[in-house]
Structures are given as C-alpha cells and as structure tokens.
Structure 1
Amino acid sequence: MSKVCEITGKSFMVGNNVSHSKRRTKRRFNPNLFDKKFFLPEDNRWVKLRVSASGLRLINKVGVKAAIKSAQEKGYLSTKF
C-alpha cells in the first residue's frame, strides 16, 4: 500500500540526515497517515480512506462528501464513490 493521502495527495519528501560532523545522507520524510472509516449518510454506507492529519482536518472542515469530490476532481482518489 502506498504512503499517499487519498484526500490531499500528500506523499513522502526527500531530505538529508545531517550528522554532527555535517555528513549528509539521504532520508525520507513520510506523511502522517491513518486508515480511517467514514460514514456517508446520503448513501447509508461506510467508506475506508487512507488520510493524513491535514486530510482529517479538511474532512472536518468541509465534510466527507465534499472532500471526496474534490479529491476525485484533482485525481488523488481513483475509485468511484
């Protein structure tokens, strides 16, 4: 399973580990992802999404249905709901 938020499209970032002697080695910064189930009262069903913490705040702000619709328009969410 990929480490990408299905609502915001956030994925990993690349950076450096910097030691005390300033040697730099590559590392990855992964997003803060959660597997959550959301209830859609219009359809009377549950939906499983893999969302980041900022995606959860977006869902709380605009609602599940609107967040899923915007994610589909942007191409982050491929399945039909």
Structure 2
Amino acid sequence: MSRICDLTGKASLVGNHVSHSNVKTKRKFHPNLQLKRFYIPEEDRWITLKVSTSAIKTINKIGITEAINRFINKGSI
C-alpha cells in the first residue's frame, strides 16, 4: 500500500535523523494519511479515498466535488 494521498499527491519525504553527537542516518517523513469515505450526492454513491488530513480540511471547507475538480485541474490526480 503506497503512502500517497489520492487527491493532493503528497508522498513521503527523505531526510536525516540527527543524533546528539551529530551522526546522520536516513529516515522518511510520512504524510498523515487517513482512509475516509465520502458521499457524492451528484452520483448518489460513496467513495473511499486515502487522503491527507490537510485534504480532509479542504474537502470539509469546499465540498468533495469541488475538491476533486480543483485537484484534477491542478494536475495532482
């Protein structure tokens, strides 16, 4: 299961663990992804998406259909 947001395209970033002695080892920063069901009234059906919490906040603000349209036009999907 990939760690990529279905709407925004957010993915894992690579960085370093830095210890007290300043030794650097590789690590990953994973996005905060949640499995969430959304109801689309125009199609009268439910869809399940793996979205980041920031995308959930955007969906709550502007609605699921507008969010999908906005992200498609942006080119994230």
TM-score normalised over the length of structure 1: 0.87
1:1-81 to structure 2, matched below 5 A, reads 1-77=1-77
Please tell me the residue identity of whatever aligns with 1:21.
S
Q: Percentage identity across aligned positions? A: 49
User: Are the aligned partners of 1:6 and 1:71 in contact in 2 as well (CA < 8 Å)?
Assistant: no
Residue deviations 1:23-62 (CA, integer Å, cap 9, x gap): 0001000000011110011111001111001010010111
Q: Distance in 2 between matches of 1:7 and 1:63?
A: 13
Q: CA RMSD in A?
A: 1.1
Measured in 2, the distance between the counterparts of 1:46 and 1:25 equals 43
CA distance in 1, matches of 2:19, 2:72: 42
| Cα offset, 1:74, TM superposition | 3.0
Structure 1: segments with no counterpart, 5+ residues: none
* Unmatched 5+ stretches in structure 2: none
Which secondary structure does the structure 2 equivalent of 1:38 belong to?
strand
1:76 CA drift (Å): 2.9
TM-score (norm 2): 0.91
Structure 1, 2-11 or 26-35: larger mean CA deviation: 2-11
Q: Give the paired residue count.
A: 77
How far apart are the structure 2 equivalents of 1:57 and 1:4? Answer: 17
What is the SS of the residue equivalent to 2:20? coil
| Partner SS, residue 61 of structure 1 | helix
